[in-house]
């Protein structure tokens, strides 16, 4: 399945690359693995979804925030690889969810990123291991930050 055709079918455009916000590489290759640094719920580096899920944000808004993280990761991968079709599989997604006290539905929020990857790459290639962790604060007040590991 061609990833770019699938993006077109789903009417999804890759966002502009988020600017660097520190001393790190957006993508680091080790062997056949690509480690994607934490991506936020931003557009062009500007926080798009802020606030804690279970307080200022709903689960659905959190899922949208997680989806933005995955889209930012794909933009970085496209820049790094030149061709998203080189991705063999999603290995791992680690989602951090800014959560109100007593909110325990972080895995549902992380589904926003996981669903996008499933829709693009299919069940075999697009679903990997995953962790979803609640936290009290994220950089810039964003709702979700996620990091990814892909196999090429």
Q: Where are the domains of the chain?
A: 25-151
Distance (Å, whole) CA 74 – CA 99: 25
CB 95 within 8 A of CB 146: yes
Superfamily of domain 25-151: RutC-like (3.30.1330.40)
Write out the E strands in 14-128.
27-30, 33-40, 42-43, 46-47, 89-98
pLDDT digits (tens, 9 = 90+) for 75-123: 999 999 999 999 999 999 999 999 999 999 999 999 999 999 999 999 9
Q: What is the pLDDT of residues 25-66, one digit of tens each?
A: 999 999 999 999 999 999 988 999 999 999 999 999 999 999
Q: Report residue 48 as tokens.
A: 């798009």
Q: Where are the beta strands (DSSP E) in 4-64?
A: 27-30, 33-40, 42-43, 46-47
């Amino acid at each position: 399945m061609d990833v770019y055709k699938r993006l077109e079918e789903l009417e999804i455009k890759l966002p502009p690359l988020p600017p660097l916000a520190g001393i790190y590489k957006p993508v680091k290759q080790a062997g056949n693995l690509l480690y994607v640094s934490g991506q936020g719920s931003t557009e062009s580096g500007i926080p798009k979804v802020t606030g804690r899920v279970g307080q200022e944000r709903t689960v659905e808004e959190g899922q949208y925030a997680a989806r933005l993280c995955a889209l930012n990761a794909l933009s970085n991968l496209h820049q790094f690889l030149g061709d998203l079709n080189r991705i063999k599989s999603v290995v791992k997604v680690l989602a951090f969810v800014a959560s109100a006290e007593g909110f325990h539905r972080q895995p549902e929020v992380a589904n926003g990123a996981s669903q996008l990857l499933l829709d693009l790459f299919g069940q075999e290639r697009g679903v990997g291991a995953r962790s979803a962790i609640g936290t009290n604060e994220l950089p810039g007040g964003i709702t979700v930050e996620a990091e990814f590991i892909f196999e090429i």
